[in-house]
Amino acid sequence: MAHRPKRTFRQRRADSSDSDSDSDSDSAEEPSAEPGAPGEQAVPGPEEEGPPHEGDRAEAAERPLRARGPRGRGRGRGRVWATSRRAAGAAPRADGGAGVPECTTVDLSTDEEDGTYDASESKDDQSSPSDSSSSLEEEFSSIVNIPDAAFIQAARRKRELARAQEDYISLDVKHISTIADTKKDSDEDPESEPDDHEKRIPFTLKPQTLKQRMAEEITTRNEESSEESQEDEKQAIWEEQQMRKAVKITKGRNIDLSHSSEFQTVKKFDTSISFPPVNLEIIKKQINRRLTLLQDTHRSHQREYEKYVEDVKSSKNAIQNLENSSDQALNFKFYKSMKIYVDNLIDCLNEKIINIQEIESSMHALLLKQAMTFMKRRQDELKHESTYLQQLSRKAETSTNGSLAIDEKTQCILEGIESRRAQRRQARALSGNCDHQEGTSSDDELSSADMADFQKSQGDILQDHKKIFEDVNDDFSNIQNILLKFQQWREKFPDSYYEAFIGLCIPKLLNPLIRVQLINWNPLKFNSIGLKQMPWFTSIENFIDNSMQDSKKEDNSDKKILSAVINKTVIPRLTDFVEFIWDPLSTSQTTSLVDHCRMILEEHSTCENEISKGRQDLVKSIVSRMKKAIEDDVYIPLYPKSTVENKTSPHSKFQERQFWSAVKLFRNILLWTGLLPDDTLKELALGKLLNRYLIIALLNAVPGPDIVKKCNQITAYLPEKWFENSTMRTSISQLENFIQFLLQSAHKLSRSEFRDEVKEIILILVKIRALNQAESFIEEYHLDHLKPVINQV
């Protein structure tokens, strides 16, 4: 059952534009209120003032009263709006509207009072809207008794006493202040009722109790279920109708089909249709053709049957042979043991590869830190020393007296530089190496504290390196023992060995073990152990040699094991050293690196694409590192000749050191002759270094024996293979600027006291195959005694 809507009673405001007829029709549309039980008393509500407009009051006075009765059974409250006139003895209104009819609210039920009001449904609730307003007033006045003033005062006192006895404020949600409570209080206390504009307007719904919410939800569900049931019934009815239609259509079709079948059976054969002639020969040919096909099929099935019989016999013979042969059992046992060994080896290496990578990274980080320390120290020292000399030059130009102010950091750096240079001079004096130029030595000395820290860190890494395979059997950690296992396989069952491509798998299996042996290998260290002296190298060589003796196959895959190992394991490690740790300005590092690379690239180079790719990566790393060194580390300052003429001045010494440092880099680049392409070396050594830096410094120098000595040193580092062609009369194009400088120096020296140095210059020209220029110079200066030098070439 649906909930009964909440009854609301509101004052009907009179509209100034409404007419008397409209008021009558409105009152006629409202159902009359049925009176309650005879024992009840209604307490009149307070008089409510209408709108301040006088016209509205007049129309409200003429409007008949309205009453709304309860819409359901049970007890309830309601308000009746009626018109009444103010008593004659009442005080006049403040706005001058005395005697004007007003709207009075009468409460038809008072729950607080003793009486009760029962609203029952009756025929009066459904009275037709044609009842007049006068009959409604008469009926209402006969039912409602307006109490007098004494009764109202008694009720008010009773209400005040009830309030005084309660010393608390109820927290029940039912007592929330709402518009209904306000109306209730206004009914009980007419004097305290607020005006229309002071009344509170509810903007939210009154909270419902749990029972109300449950009842509402049950009602909603019942309505939904009833709607769904109705829809299901309609759907069922529609489906039934459709089924009936389909049955009717099917029956009609069956009737049509039955009629058509009867018609067909009744239809007679048409004798006018002609068929092809049939004779005995045609039938015989068809039977023979069918017989031939069946015979062919039978023969094919017979052949298949015979083949299957032979296969069964051969299988039985193979089973008997295997059961009677003990060698096959041994072979199976060997293959099974080999499979178990390889599986265990792979599991062991997979477990240890993480530790190997960690130790490799630690060692690489330690060496990289040391290399970065040297590089940063060299650049800082060069920067501070150059700045110091510039300050000295400015001081000399201004001719100011007093000492030059130097900060503590620069002073400390300069003192450290001089201290290391003094130690190197003392070491060269003890070794007897007096022919040494300042700037050609490698400044890679560490302090005692830094050296101790480096050695301690390196020792810790090597201790961890020894613990990698300490818990592993030698059959799984020793490369020689592993190769012996595969050698046994190759000797006993060579066919299965080569069919399994073991030669291609061995480099991958040995990669972690070889990396462990290369952790302590530093190809940049002077007198470092060579690859040929390492245990893994000799073991692989012996394995390959035994393979060559056992097998005569031309495409023996074991021949390429060593090259594959070098390409997959050694070359990547060399590439890392070149990119991050190698210092091209260090002659000792470059010489050691060139020796290792020459052994790898020349003696063990193959034509395989994979190996050529690794070789190309290594070559690219070497070239890029030398380019970076030329751009970052070469610096030759230019000072006035008056400053450089004094060989003891700090400017001259600094310029000499920087020049010989560039010459050292020139030599280190040309050490790669034979490993790197000649065009690349000519571009780096001659194009970028000689023509851009060294010749400019030579042009700024004072002509004399020192220049000839420097030119001789540069020429000595040039590879002889570049000038082996006996038909050459002119030198290579990259040396054109150098040749012009030599001729210019010879012209200057021929007019000075250093005429003997001209012969040295002619010898340099002859060595670099600049024969045409040398002959022209000899003829120009009539140096006939030097012609035999040219004729000897």
Mind listing the pLDDT tens digit for each residue in 573-606? Answer: 999 999 999 999 999 999 999 999 998 887 665 5
- At 486-539, the pLDDT tens digits run 999 999 888 899 899 998 999 999 999 999 999 999 999 988 888 899 999 999
Tokens of 63: 């409007």
Q: How far is CA 147 from CA 44, 106, 144, 152, 488, in A?
A: 7, 11, 9, 7, 128
What is residue 557's DSSP assignment?
G
The predicted structure's pLDDT at residue 144: 58
pLDDT score, position 738: 94
Structure tokens at 109: 């039920």
pLDDT of residue 270: 59
* pLDDT for the residue 434: 63
701 CA to centre of own chain = 58
Which residue type, as a one-letter code, is found at position 481? N
Quick one: tokens of 484? 């012996």
| Torsion from C-alpha of 500, 505, 506, 507, nearest 10 degrees | 150
The residue type of 149 is A
Between CA 46 and CA 188 the distance in angstroms is 8
Phi-psi region of 757 (alpha: psi -120 to 50; beta: other; left: phi over 0): alpha
pTM above 0.85, yes or no: no
- Two structure tokens written together for 62: 């003429």
d(CA 207, CA 368): 78
DSSP 71: S
**181 phi/psi in degrees, rounded to 5:** -65, -40
Residue 651 near residue 699, CB atoms below 8 Å: no
**Residue 102, beta-bridge partner list:** 84
Distance from C-alpha of 774 to C-alpha of 729, rounded to nearest angstrom:
10
Cα 372 to its chain centre, rounded Å, is 31
Contacts of 129-138 spanning 24+ positions with Cβ under 8 A = 129/25, 129/28, 129/29, 130/28, 131/28, 131/32, 132/24, 132/28, 133/23, 133/24, 133/27, 133/64, 133/65, 134/64, 136/27, 136/32, 136/64, 136/65, 136/67, 137/64, 137/65, 137/82, 137/83
- Contact call for residues 102 and 58 (beta carbons, < 8 A): no
Provide Rg for the chain, Cα atoms.
61
Q: Which residues are 104's β-sheet partners?
A: 47, 82
pLDDT at 393: 77
Query: What is the separation of C-alpha 415 from the centre of its chain, rounded to a whole number of angstroms?
Result: 51
Q: How far is CA 352 from CA 457, 471, 515, 565, in A?
A: 22, 11, 12, 19
- Measured CA to CA, the distance from residue 326 to residue 332 in angstroms comes to 10
Give the SS3 label for residue 106. strand
φ and ψ at residue 102, rounded to 5 degrees: -125, 165
Collect the ranges in the chain with pLDDT lower than 70.
Answer: 1-145, 165-207, 250-273, 325-326, 395-406, 432-436, 439, 549-555, 603-612, 792-793
Alpha helices in 551-633, H assignment, sequence order: 561-565, 571-576, 587-598, 609-633
pLDDT at 205: 64
**Cα-based distances in Å from 273 to 269, 270, 276, 340, 600:** 9, 6, 10, 85, 98
CA separation for the pair 692, 697 (Å, rounded): 9
* Rounded Cα gap, residues 457 and 727, in angstroms: 59
**Sign of dihedral through CA atoms 465, 468, 473, 474?**
negative
Q: In the prediction, which pLDDT does 81 show? A: 39
Give the residue among 326, 327, 307 at the shortest CA–CA distance from 315. Answer: 307
d(CA 634, CA 437): 17
